[in-house]
Structure formats: C-alpha cells, structure tokens
Amino acid sequence: MNTNLRIYNTLSRKKEDFKPINEPFVGMYVCGPTVYGEAHLGHARPAITFDVVFRYLKYLGYNVRYVRNITDVGHLSNDSDDGEDKILKKARLERLEPMEIVQYYTISYHKSIEALNCLPPSIEPHASGHIIEQQEMVQKLLNNGFAYEKNGSVYFDVEKYNQKHNYGKLSGRNIEELFANTRQLDGQSDKKNPFDFAVWKNAEPQHIQRWNSAWGEGFPGWHLECSAMSTKYLGEVFDIHGGGMDLLFPHHECEIAQSVGTTGKDAVKYWMHNNMITINGQKMGKSLGNFITLSELFSGKHASLVQAYSPMTIRFFILQAQYRSTLDFSNEALQASEKGLQRLLKGVKTLETLKASSNSTIVIDEFEQNCFEALNDDFNTPILISYLFDMLTVINKLAMGTEQINQEQLTHLQKLYSDFIFEIMGLKDLESDNKSSETLNSVMNIVLEMRQKAKENKDWAAADLIRNQLTKAGITIKDSKNGAEWEVF
C-alpha cells in the first residue's frame, strides 16, 4: 500500500512517512479520559483528532484497531490534598461509591463524544478491569531489575533504567535536570530518587479502591495502565500512540520506560500529540477551573457563552485548526465556524441536486489531489477545508449555470465531496434531527402556500403579517427563487 501519508512523530520531531509495522493492520492507542468529571472542550480535541486519524486510515484501506482507555483507577492528586486519590476524594464528597462516579461520568463522556460524531473505538478498556495485567507488568519490571519494592509500594528505578536506556528522549529532558527540578512531595520518601514513579502503590487504610497483590493491598501506579492495556490489545510493538501534549511528560515518557523495562522494546512507532485548547490564551483545564463542559456548549448554559453551539459546530471549529496548534476558544470563533459549516453543508445539498451537462468547463483532478495532499500532510484539515470552500464557489457557479460539468465528473465530485466532509472529517448534517416534525412540516406547507397566494395578489400586508407572526412564534422565513424556506430557531 502506497498512501503518501506523513505523520509528525513527537519522538523524532519531524514528519515521517507512515509505514505500518504489519500492513495492512494498524494499531492505535489513545489516552482516554479520567472519569471523575464532566467532559469539557479540551476532551473533545483528542477525541476528534484521533477520530479523524482513525477514519482516514480506514478510508485508505488499513485495518485499524483503535484502543482508547477509560481511566477509572485513581491517580495521585496534587499536593493540595495530601495525595488523596482523585476519584476517591470525589466519592467521599458526594457519598458515592467510586465505581458509581466512574459509571456516571463514563456514560456522560460517551454521550458527549458520540454527539460529536466520533466513532467508538474498537476496544475501550477500563484500567480497573486490567489489574492482573498491570500486576504482571509490575512483576516483570521487578524481575528485570527496573523496579524496587518499598513498604508495599513498587517504584520504577529511573536512574537504573537510564544507565542502559534514555529516559527523557520523548520529552527532551535529561535526568540531571530532573534531579535538580523535581519537587519533593509528601509521602514519597520511599523513593530512591524523586523522579522515580510508582507502578504499584500501597493503599492507605481509608483508601477504598484497593486490590490484593503480592506486595499487599494497593492499586496500580499512575502510568501503568496504558502500557499494560496497549500491550494486551495491540502487542508489544504497535504503530500509533496518541494523546494530549500535556501527557508528554511524565505520562508518555514513563510509558516508554515501562515498555522497554518490561519487553526490552520500544512499544510505539509514531507518537502523536494534539495541542491544547486555550481560553483567553490560557490552557483550558480542570485544574485551572477555566473549562467549559461539552454539555454546556451544547446547551449554551455557561456564563461565557452567548449562545448554544451544536456538536458539529464544535467539531468543525476544532478541525479548522491543525491538531498540533493551540486553538483559542471564543464566541466569535465559534460563531464563525457555525456559519462556515452551514454554508459548506448547504453546498453539499446543492451539489446533490446539480444536473450534468454534455461537457465540462471545470476539472476536478487538481481539487482531488490537493485535498489528499492536505490530509496526507499530517492530517492538515484546515487546508482540506480551504479547498472545500474553494470548490464550494465552483459548485454554486454550477448551480447558477455559469459553469458546466459532465456526468462522470459530477458523480466523482459528489463522491469526493461527501467522502471528505462526512466519511473522513466525520461531520454530519444535523438539520434532519432538529426540532421539526412531520406535522409541523405539513402545517408550514399550508401556511407558506397561503402566504404565497397573498404575494401573488400583491397583498403585502397579509404576507408580512404571516411572516411577522411566524417570527414571533420562533420560525424564520427565507424567501428564495424556488419558494420560501423556513427554520425553527
């Protein structure tokens, strides 16, 4: 398979030709959410970014297994709360079982991400369902001498690992710097070095999430689940590992160390990292408290939102930026995306109704080539979108009759346009499932017919009365050459 696809690899810091390890199979692992809160706009970015990767790879003919985890085992929290487990803390506050919280927010996440029209991953493993695999990995690390046990916890020995391997090669750090700059946290005195990380953590008596192990009751370490589950479902070596840039260090760096420490192999061929969504130039994040949840965006119920934004508007907004760039949130930017998307989707409908001519005044070969080049250049969706808008102007001219297209070219263009917009970028036309109904449709047809009669009789007062009353009722009338259109707002 020769696809010309190039992917920016964080490991090499440049774009590389994409060559799967076992063509035509592709294994892709993406870090999913920690389910202790509502999904916010930031979560939408990797979901959509890697959904497009998933879709495009499949479109190219690859057989892709896409694994995205659910983190439902608590990770240590920050130093403001004595290292208390994140999920556990929430449980105590709300007097719920940890798994009850996990269940609630997993469903909530699924709902939001599905609304964004992201395909479900092939496998969505839960960390809590892979405790055994994680314990086995801990044991292997111990056997290989890259981990040590202390007081019921097992830590990865970074210094020892670094003697043979390069800890920090993904994030561009060196161990001396780490030594100089890593903070001493409470309760970490068991570590030989401050930058060692837990692969198994002893559970304090009040800790609810706990499992038996050879080292006593505890829970798996912060970074282990991704290594254990990716190995289980994708093998010791696989093609793509994705996630947000904020996971680069230490999370992904530790994953590399764990894989190498366990199997002796670098598990991942291509590391991909999406950039952050910012708000007022600052990263949107849970810890900063400046996030907007997806359901708030969909409903418009948030202090900084001037209106609701549809899931497709959000998706299009995200696709209008290259995934490795930061993307700044604002109402203006979302509104711009909303309008642009509406125009683009209208173009799809226009294209479907075009009539072929005997000859063509346009050629679409270059358009096709440009679009694929954009996608092949590290999934450059904004460039792809710009070509789609260029073609939109052509489509409108075809509709006006100032350009012509033959049947063969028309069929091809319709296929391409639909493939790029729906199949690959994963947009969809939401109009069909909005507030309208069969009954309302019938009623509106009658009303509009009456208004049309009035217009034909030049009874402008009656025509305007109908339009104004409908506006008051929440329905907009848009006259066009082919009769009036209406929509509920």
Partner RNA sequence: GGUCUCAUGGCCGAGCGGUUAGGCUGGGCUCUGCAAAAGCUCCCACAGCGGUUCGAUUCCGCUUGAGACCUCCA
Q: Smallest distance from the beta carbon of 463 to RNA, in angstroms?
A: 4
- Residues 93-122 close enough to bind RNA by CB under 7 A: none
Q: Smallest distance from the beta carbon of 423 to RNA, in angstroms?
A: 20
Q: Smallest distance from the beta carbon of 324 to RNA, in angstroms?
A: 7
Q: Smallest distance from the beta carbon of 89 to RNA, in angstroms?
A: 11
- Single residue of 150, 286, 412, 428 touching RNA by CB under 7 A: 286
At CA 21, angle to CA 20 and CA 24, rounded to 5?
55
Q: Smallest distance from the beta carbon of 60 to RNA, in angstroms?
A: 20
> Residue 382 interacts with RNA (CB under 7 A)?
yes
User: Which CB sits closer to RNA, 79 or 449?
Assistant: 79
Q: Smallest distance from the beta carbon of 264 to RNA, in angstroms?
A: 25
> Residue 342 interacts with RNA (CB under 7 A)?
yes
Tokens 């269940």 belong to which residue? 103
- Residues 145-164 close enough to bind RNA by CB under 7 A: none
> Residue 354 interacts with RNA (CB under 7 A)?
no
> Residue 282 interacts with RNA (CB under 7 A)?
yes
> Residue 43 interacts with RNA (CB under 7 A)?
yes
Q: Smallest distance from the beta carbon of 313 to RNA, in angstroms?
A: 11
- Single residue of 20, 46, 125, 311 touching RNA by CB under 7 A: 46
Alpha carbon distance 489, 480 (integer Å): 19
Tokens 């690959």 belong to which residue? 424
Q: Say how many residues touch RNA, by CB under 7 A.
A: 93
User: Which CB sits closer to RNA, 25 or 123?
Assistant: 123
Q: Smallest distance from the beta carbon of 385 to RNA, in angstroms?
A: 6
Decide the pairing of beta strands 268-274 and 238-244.
parallel
The window from 93-101, 148-156, 342-350, 423-431 that contacts RNA (CB under 7 A) reads 342-350
- Single residue of 3, 293, 322, 404 touching RNA by CB under 7 A: 322
- Residues 57-76 close enough to bind RNA by CB under 7 A: 71, 75-76
> Residue 389 interacts with RNA (CB under 7 A)?
yes
The window from 89-97, 210-218, 377-385, 412-420 that contacts RNA (CB under 7 A) reads 377-385
Main-chain phi, psi angles of 193, to 5 degrees: -135, 145
Alpha carbon distance 430, 449 (integer Å): 26
Give the list of residues 6+ apart from residue 296 with CB closer than 8 angstroms, or none: 302, 305
> Residue 356 interacts with RNA (CB under 7 A)?
no
> Residue 315 interacts with RNA (CB under 7 A)?
no
Q: Smallest distance from the beta carbon of 130 to RNA, in angstroms?
A: 16
> Residue 78 interacts with RNA (CB under 7 A)?
yes
User: Which CB sits closer to RNA, 43 or 55?
Assistant: 43
User: Which CB sits closer to RNA, 3 or 313?
Assistant: 313
Alpha carbon distance 460, 104 (integer Å): 56
Alpha carbon distance 341, 427 (integer Å): 9
> Residue 427 interacts with RNA (CB under 7 A)?
no
Q: Smallest distance from the beta carbon of 78 to RNA, in angstroms?
A: 4
Alpha carbon distance 217, 261 (integer Å): 24
- Single residue of 70, 137, 141, 284 touching RNA by CB under 7 A: 284
Q: Smallest distance from the beta carbon of 246 to RNA, in angstroms?
A: 4
Please say whether the beta carbons of 351 and 400 come within 8 A.
Answer: no
Measured CA distances, 263 to 102, 130, 155, 215, 258 (Å): 31, 18, 17, 22, 8
| Tokens at 58, concatenated | 């499949």
Give the list of residues 6+ apart from residue 132 with CB closer than 8 angstroms, or none: none
> Residue 346 interacts with RNA (CB under 7 A)?
yes
- Residues 220-279 close enough to bind RNA by CB under 7 A: 222, 243-251, 274, 276-278
> Residue 472 interacts with RNA (CB under 7 A)?
no
Please say whether the beta carbons of 181 and 175 come within 8 A.
Answer: no
Residue environment code for 299-315, b if the CB has 16+ CB neighbours within 10 A, otherwise e: eeeeeebeeebbbbbbb
